[in-house]
Structure 1
Amino acid sequence: MNHLTTDLAQALVENRDIKEFFREHLEHAVNQLLRNELTCFLDYEPYDAKSINSGNSRNGYYSRKFNTEFGELSIQVPRDSDGFFEQQTVAPYKRNSESLEEVVIHLYKKGGTTSEIADLMEKMYGHHYSKQTISNFTKIVEADIEAYKYSPLNKRYVCVYLDATHTPLRRKTVAKEAVYIAIGIDEDGHKEVLDFTIAPTESAMV
């Protein structure tokens, strides 16, 4: 299970506002994509020694607002010192999203393959950057996703139990389905989501 789905299950356990949950994660993901885009443009990571003689460097960011179906995002658009960087993640002067949410969700979903990620990167940036830059960008995003998917459990749990909650899910229609959540309780009494799965109905056979 990846970082996003773990957080989602945790939000369901805590009965948090799911729309706000997705807004926060979408905002984080878009800002991460912007930072990755500048990294590929400059061809070096932050604090890399290559920046010393590169002739161009990071130069802070400017803020803008962007409306999505989940609410308003606070976007930090990075800048380069030469002023040549033109980001393509969020269209300039555009204030509303048409497909950005779908792209980000596909990028960070569980089980996204390398070819799927590369295809999405090509669609987002292909007509602006070279094939090699797209390849580098794909590797950065893929590394982020792998880190989410395979992050270890670092705690000891005195108790682990399975619970279910019901939430509306959209497939061909919208209907409530059972979300089974494995919850661990650590030695301090803190609850943590370990894994979850979705089933049409609540059953002891899951």
Structure 2
Amino acid sequence: MKKEDLLNSDFLKQFKSGKELESFLSQLHKRGIEQMLEGELDDHLGYDKHAKSDQSNARNGYGCKTIRTDFGETRIDVPRDREGSFEPVIVPKRKSMAEGVESLVVSLYAKGMSNADIEEQLLEMYDFRLSTSAISRITSRVTEDITAWQNRPLEEVYLIV
């Protein structure tokens, strides 16, 4: 089956509104993230789900986590291992938002928007509230890096200017 055949016009006709399509894409995104997390755990443990293994570490159910994505807030099931050594890369531990949202916050901040304006924009566009303190924490991390880069020592001679 060709890639184009996956989204033929008959399939797309089932969506009667933008909200229905957005809901479908959100569910698809959620399932995709969860499947990638399962794949990461398979790689971490060294065997596929339901396969036999002689290792002491094994799957240990799921933890529930709410993350912020480009589709709004999404509740995902994150697989766990018995030893607690699984460190997901797709959605890292102690992170509640996908990289796309953080990038958007930084981009809006770089364009001169205030934290309150960014909060309002996220609520309008993605239907979730990110507190001004969270926005401030995100932008302060970037500001520190920018300041460090601006204050770095310069070379005396550059080949190309």
Q: Which runs of 5+ in 1 are unaligned?
A: 101-206
Q: Give the paired residue count.
A: 98
Task: Give the aligned residue type for 1:89.
Answer: I
Note if 1:96 corresponds to 2:97: yes
1:39 to 27, 37, 42: 42
Q: Which runs of 5+ in 2 are unaligned?
A: 102-161
Q: Is the 8 A contact 1:11 1:21 kept in 2?
A: no
Q: Is the 8 A contact 2:70 2:100 kept in 1?
A: no
Larger helix share, 1 or 2: 2
Secondary structure, counterpart of 1:22 in structure 2: helix
* Distance of aligned partners of 1:7 and 1:22 in 2 relative to their CA distance in 1, 3 Å threshold: farther
What CA RMSD, in Å, does the superposition of the two structures yield over aligned residues? Answer: 2.6
Distance 1:93 1:7 in 2: 39
Distance 1:28 1:75 in 2: 8
* Distance of aligned partners of 1:86 and 1:92 in 2 relative to their CA distance in 1, 3 Å threshold: same
1:151-201 superposed Cα distances (whole Å, 9 cap, x missing partner): xxxxxxxxxxxxxxxxxxxxxxxxxxxxxxxxxxxxxxxxxxxxxxxxxxx
1:77-129 superposed Cα distances (whole Å, 9 cap, x missing partner): 111111111111113222222339xxxxxxxxxxxxxxxxxxxxxxxxxxxxx
Note if 1:48 corresponds to 2:51: yes
- Normalised TM-score (structure 2): 0.53
Q: Deviation at 1:69?
A: 1.9
Task: Give the aligned residue type for 2:61.
Answer: G
Q: Deviation at 1:13?
A: 3.8
- Normalised TM-score (structure 1): 0.42
Q: Is the 8 A contact 1:63 1:76 kept in 2?
A: yes
Q: Higher RCO, 1 or 2 (CA under 8 Å, sep at least 6)?
A: 1
Q: Deviation at 1:71?
A: 2.2
Q: Is the 8 A contact 2:34 2:76 kept in 1?
A: yes
Correspondence list, 1:38-187, <5 A: 38-49=41-52, 51=53, 53-99=54-100
